[in-house]
Structure 1
Amino acid sequence: MTIWTRLLCRLGVAAGALTSLALPAAAADCSRNEHDGQGYVICRISAEEEPRVGLWLYDDEGEALNNFSNLRSFVGPQTLIFAMNAGMFHADHSPVGLFKSGDETYGQLVTTGGGGNFGLLPNGVFCTGGAQPYQVIESRAFAEAQPQCRLATQSGPMLVIEGELHPRFLVDSDSRYVRNGVGVSADGQTAWFAISDRPVTFHEFGRLFRDGLGARNALYFDGSISRLYAPQVRRNDFGWSMGPIIGLVDEN
């Protein structure tokens, strides 16, 4: 039992609520948390921070950024507060689905099923700057509504769909990976970016967002390549090259 769990027990709070209660109130904070015995780093971003959220893929010469070091150089005088990989990609680092950052759009929205986790329907799109500051929208609903997003990245599968776990997730699954993704509050005012400390199942990861954070909708980013840059918790992950990267910058 962790010190946080013992403290909450003394206060009469269920351990399953640990993650959501332990998160600092300050926007754009990254912290280490536990849920159902699994450790996670969670970065919370408020609505006020949305204009400073960025989504990146290529540099000015059209070369894939690939890693956090290149991204830090690319944002120049701005300070990178946190970043993580934000969607699946092909061998040439182009996005598997839709990628939109400002006036730049790469790839196309994919609404049909297929192999791999991306094709495990329903999948979805993380959108910022639309009708709400943050949204996770099921891909077919996105195609029908055509929302105006400042940033949009498609991935899959959905982890939480209108308060319910993805129907294909198994409680007793033996498929475990270090996973990362994003969840959004019911009012669209808060986005949570999370990465597991150790390999977890889809069911465990989805429960983090649904039960620990109260996310109405949440989207899986990846499990083969999951990376986090968060100096606040001394994380600057390296490894295989990444495709789309999402993060927050601070104007100096």
Structure 2
Amino acid sequence: MGVLLVTLALIWWFRPSARPPLTVGGDLPGPCRDFSFEAVPYVVCEIDLRSYDVAVFHAGADGRAFGSLEKFDMAMSGEGRPLLAMNAGMYHEDLTPVGLLVKKGREVAPLNLADGEGNFFLKPNGVFLIGKDGKAAIMETNAYAAAKPDVAFATQSGPMLVIDGGVHPRFEANGTSRYVRNGAGVRDADTVVLAISRSEVSLGSFARLFRDALHCPNALFFDGVVSALSNGERMIVGGKYPAGPIIAVSAKR
């Protein structure tokens, strides 16, 4: 029982004790635009996989987690900076992923089917993936476990925001839990939609953004409070927040 309590405590992954000021600046990356929905401002990035590559990152060549978007951007500077980067999944205090992480076809962290406390375990949760065929999908976690898709990149998070066209059944229409939030949707196999709010938003409203305005039949919550977006050189939204899994977009070569 003691081990279980310690494990559950760690899964209340690191969060800042207070909400730092939101950084808003820089130039929007090419696939991104400012967007407003239900009086909440967002940055929305619509990624055509026929023109852009989407990949998931976590650690550098030394095996240590990048730790933040700023450090990731600096590490990538010698390889050509991505057009944009965003935190892409929840993490433990040591920055290890809470759930599945696949990088370049190699499983870095296993699929997490456990029950627990916190948003990650607000089931159904799910997996964002890019298949080895270059196609995108968001799958509910149990469906992913059953299908065992052949993936190049994947990150597990939770809760699902939109599931086959329906908002997560446990969301209130406009609950009192309000944070800056970010997530991903898949409109079709060739179109990934990333979104981050510039101000605090409820999960219900955030889910409707993906379903009603961005037309994504499936969408996945990445995180809140520590949500951040960079354009490869400077922060667009967010500050020097810690990051576990990171999603990055670059132009196809």
Instruction: Please tell me the TM-score bracket, short chain as reference.
Output: 0.7 to 0.9
Q: Which has the higher contact order (CA 8 A, sep 6+)?
A: 2
- Matches of 2:252 and 2:185 in 1, distance apart? 25
Partner of 1:112: 114
Check the 8 A contact 1:79/1:251 in 2, yes or no.
Answer: no
- Matches of 2:81 and 2:43 in 1, distance apart? 20
| 1:1-252 → structure 2 map (5 Å cutoff) | 29-49=31-51, 52-75=53-76, 76-130=78-132, 133-185=135-187, 187-230=188-231, 235=236, 237-250=238-251
User: Residues 63, 233 of structure 1: CA spacing in aligned structure 2 closer, same or farther, 3 A cutoff?
Assistant: closer
Deviations 1:41-71 (A, max 9, x none): 0111112145x22211111111110122322
Check the 8 A contact 1:125/1:139 in 2, yes or no.
Answer: yes
Tell me the number of residue pairs that the alignment of Structure 1 and Structure 2 aligns. 224
- Matches of 1:160 and 1:169 in 2, distance apart? 10
User: In the alignment, residue 90 of structure 1 is paired with which amino acid?
Assistant: H
Aligned residue for 1:90, secondary structure, equals: coil
Aligned residue for 2:82, secondary structure, equals: strand
Check the 8 A contact 1:179/1:223 in 2, yes or no.
Answer: yes
- Matches of 1:91 and 1:117 in 2, distance apart? 16
User: In the alignment, residue 159 of structure 1 is paired with which amino acid?
Assistant: L
Deviations 1:107-166 (A, max 9, x none): 211123321000000000000125661100000000000001110000000000000000
Which sections of structure 2, spanning at least 5 residues, go unmatched? 1-28
User: Residues 127, 71 of structure 1: CA spacing in aligned structure 2 closer, same or farther, 3 A cutoff?
Assistant: same
Check the 8 A contact 1:123/1:157 in 2, yes or no.
Answer: yes
User: Residues 245, 127 of structure 1: CA spacing in aligned structure 2 closer, same or farther, 3 A cutoff?
Assistant: same
Check the 8 A contact 1:84/1:229 in 2, yes or no.
Answer: yes
Cα shift at 1:189: 1.6
- Matches of 1:188 and 1:28 in 2, distance apart? 20
Cα shift at 1:236: 6.0
Name whichever of 38-47 and 148-157 sits farther off.
Answer: 38-47
Check the 8 A contact 1:78/1:250 in 2, yes or no.
Answer: no
Check the 8 A contact 1:111/1:139 in 2, yes or no.
Answer: yes
- Matches of 2:67 and 2:166 in 1, distance apart? 33
Cα shift at 1:182: 0.1
- Matches of 2:99 and 2:201 in 1, distance apart? 24
Aligned residue for 1:150, secondary structure, equals: strand
- Matches of 2:195 and 2:234 in 1, distance apart? 13
Aligned residue for 1:239, secondary structure, equals: coil
Aligned residue for 1:175, secondary structure, equals: coil
User: In the alignment, residue 60 of structure 1 is paired with which amino acid?
Assistant: A
- Matches of 1:69 and 1:251 in 2, distance apart? 23
How large is the RMSD of aligned CA atoms in angstroms? Answer: 2.1
Divergent runs of 4+, >3 A: 231-234
- Matches of 2:30 and 2:130 in 1, distance apart? 15
